[in-house]
Amino acid sequence: MASSSEAGPSTSRPLIKETQWTSVTPGVTSKDVIISVKVKHSPFRGSVPCMPSPLAVICAILNIIIPGSGTFVSAFSVFCCGFAERPACAAFGWNLLAAVLQLLTVIFLVGWIWSIHWGIMFVTLSCEY
């Protein structure tokens, strides 16, 4: 493989560096390694409840019509028919805060977009219910 000083300016072909990976632990092959990934969501995202599909669709439609209204309804669903990654009381509080912020920021269109995004997440997560 030629170095950049030998190639000269007329060559337009980039140099490729080949890397060989070796095991750090002797005797461990790639088949012996188990990789687990845990996704950590923000407090708001971790509080989005997973609800039954009909309720998720109703909350999504409410969020499109009046931003934050579907999020407000979904806050109460963590106590009766839904679940979230966070404890029920924490998810309730974060959902109420999100509903208020969605309603207050609707004048900047941020609240409406955020509210529609949450409505989509309600329907997407309802498949896991």
pLDDT on residue 15: 47
- In the numeric block, the tokens 């990654």 are attached to 85
Provide block-wise average pLDDT over 10 residues at a time, the chain (129 residues): 50 50 56 74 90 96 97 96 93 96 95 96 89
Sequence-distant (6+) residues with CB within 8 A of 100 are 68
pLDDT on residue 42: 87
DSSP 3-state percent helix, strand, coil across the chain (nearest 5): 55, 0, 40
pLDDT on residue 79: 95
pLDDT on residue 61: 98
pLDDT on residue 34: 74
pLDDT on residue 127: 87
Which of 86, 118, 93 lies closest to 105 in space, CA to CA? 118
